[in-house]
């Protein structure tokens, strides 16, 4: 059942060509195809990250910054703006990096949340010392 797909995958593995492989649920289950042809998973890049708008980033960072005790209101606003600006700047530079170096750098919502968590931890350690 997967023999034609296997031939296509083997050919493209040795002679890479950009392409798209689509499975119809009624014909082939993706689990079975991945078991028989591991290259479907190992040699595949899925690009489905969408950037957040600046206002959304700032809203999330404001909510996060409000939970940190001991900060003045004007400092909270500045930190919130900086965090959203830093994430947006990395997105812009990542596009240039991909164009120049042909490598991808993904900035995801998870990386934004991790950045805010790191910033909060650093502020906490700095306040203790």
Q: How far apart are CA 46 and CA 67, in angstroms?
A: 35
Asked if residue 49 belongs to a domain, the reply is: no
- pTM (predicted TM-score): 0.58
Whole-angstrom CA distances from 87 to 8, 94, 126 are: 40, 11, 22
Total structural domains in the chain? 2
Is the domain of 38 the same as that of 80?
no
Is the domain of 32 the same as that of 58?
no
Q: Tens of pLDDT along the chain (129 residues)?
A: 444 444 444 444 445 555 555 555 555 566 776 677 776 666 666 556 677 888 889 999 999 988 888 888 888 899 899 999 999 999 899 889 989 998 888 788 888 889 989 988 888 788 777
Asked if residue 7 belongs to a domain, the reply is: yes
5-19 as b/e: b if 16+ CB within 10 A = beeebeeeeeeeeee
């Amino acid at each position: 059942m997967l023999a034609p797909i296997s031939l296509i995958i083997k050919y493209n593995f040795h002679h890479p060509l950009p392409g798209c492989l689509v499975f119809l649920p009624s014909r082939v289950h993706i689990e079975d195809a991945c078991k028989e042809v591991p290259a479907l998973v190992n040699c595949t890049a899925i690009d489905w990250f969408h950037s957040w708008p600046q206002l959304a980033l700032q809203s999330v960072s404001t909510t996060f910054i409000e939970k940190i005790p001991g900060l003045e209101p004007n400092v909270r606003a500045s930190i919130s703006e900086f965090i959203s600006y830093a994430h947006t700047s990395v997105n812009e530079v990542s596009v240039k990096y991909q164009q120049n170096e042909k490598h991808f750098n993904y900035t995801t919502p998870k990386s934004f949340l991790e950045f805010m968590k790191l910033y909060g931890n650093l502020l906490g350690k700095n306040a203790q010392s």
